[in-house]
Chain A
Amino acid sequence: MTATLIIDIATAVSLVIGAVFTFVGSYGLLKLDDPMKRLHAPTKAGTLGVGSLLLGSILAALGRGEPSLQEVLIVAFLFVTAPISAHFICKVNLHRRSCDTPPAPVNDTTWSTLDTPPTGAPKPS
């Protein structure tokens, strides 16, 4: 009796948290004014938001009496791929020069995305 009530409350809380973080992520995407700043909002809040929604789904399945952990796969997949997507979008920003020029690295000559052959040179194959 009380156990199902606790599971229901936990489901509702994690659903609300996930919804709020998803909302804030997209709100940040719309509000922020610099391409690099915009990258911060969705890749973070979006990941935790969807992660929390999936946690709510796991808890709801537990409350229905048919426990399943399939959602863990989606969460793991999102947590592994989110940094890679963010890194690629950063590289696009750097490549298109649509952000501030970063400072020079400490020990090496340049950043790898900016390390392009001079124009006119044949493309390395």
Chain B
Amino acid sequence: MSDPDLVTYAIWFAFGCVSLAQVMAMVRLILGPNTADRILALDTMTLNAIGLIVLLGLAQGTQIYFEAALIVAMLGFVSTVGYCRFVLRGDIIE
């Protein structure tokens, strides 16, 4: 890399932003005030977690975290739908 400093600074900036975003989503998860907000906060935390995993892979210069990010994405979607189904129908699989 010809200019490693630029990308390194960008990665650290992104780490800061995404971590703050994760904390804010967690505050919303604690505050509530109702079920839909908590589901939404969990969904957002999953998205931010994917971002953090990707940034970790970038900072270490490897591709091995790709599967982890993909699995977190899939689990996050399925759990969001599962929570919503439970609230809507009182049951997940009828």
Query: Which positions in A face B, CB cutoff 8 Å?
Result: 1, 4-5, 8-9, 11-13, 15-16, 18-20, 22-23, 25-27, 29-30, 35, 38-39, 42-43, 46-47, 49-50, 53-54, 56-57, 60-61, 63-64, 66, 68, 70-71, 73-74, 77-78, 81, 84-85, 88-89, 91-93, 95-96, 98, 113, 125
Give the complex CA separation of A88 and B92 in angstroms. Answer: 13
Could you write out 30 A-B pairs with CB less than 8 Å apart? A15-B10, A15-B58, A18-B51, A19-B14, A20-B17, A23-B18, A25-B47, A29-B25, A30-B28, A35-B34, A38-B28, A38-B40, A42-B25, A42-B44, A50-B47, A50-B51, A50-B54, A53-B51, A53-B54, A60-B58, A64-B1, A71-B66, A74-B66, A74-B69, A88-B85, A89-B80, A89-B84, A92-B39, A95-B88, A96-B35
Are B24 and A30 touching (Cβ within 8 A)? yes
Candidates A9, A20, A50; contact of B50 at CB < 8 Å: A50
Are A64 and B14 touching (Cβ within 8 A)? no
Determine how close the nearest CB of chain A comes to the CB of B73; give it in whole angstroms.
5
Q: Which residues of B contact A56 (CB under 8 A)?
A: 10, 14, 58
Are B88 and A25 touching (Cβ within 8 A)? no
Task: Describe B's contact surface by its main secondary structure.
Answer: helix
Are A4 and B2 touching (Cβ within 8 A)? yes
Are A89 and B39 touching (Cβ within 8 A)? yes
Are B25 and A26 touching (Cβ within 8 A)? yes
Determine how close the nearest CB of chain A comes to the CB of B40; give it in whole angstroms.
5
Candidates A9, A61, A113; contact of B63 at CB < 8 Å: A61
Are B17 and A23 touching (Cβ within 8 A)? yes
Are B37 and A85 touching (Cβ within 8 A)? no
Are A46 and B20 touching (Cβ within 8 A)? no
Candidates A1, A20, A27, A92; contact of B36 at CB < 8 Å: A92
Q: Which residues of A contact B24 (CB under 8 A)?
A: 26-27, 29-30
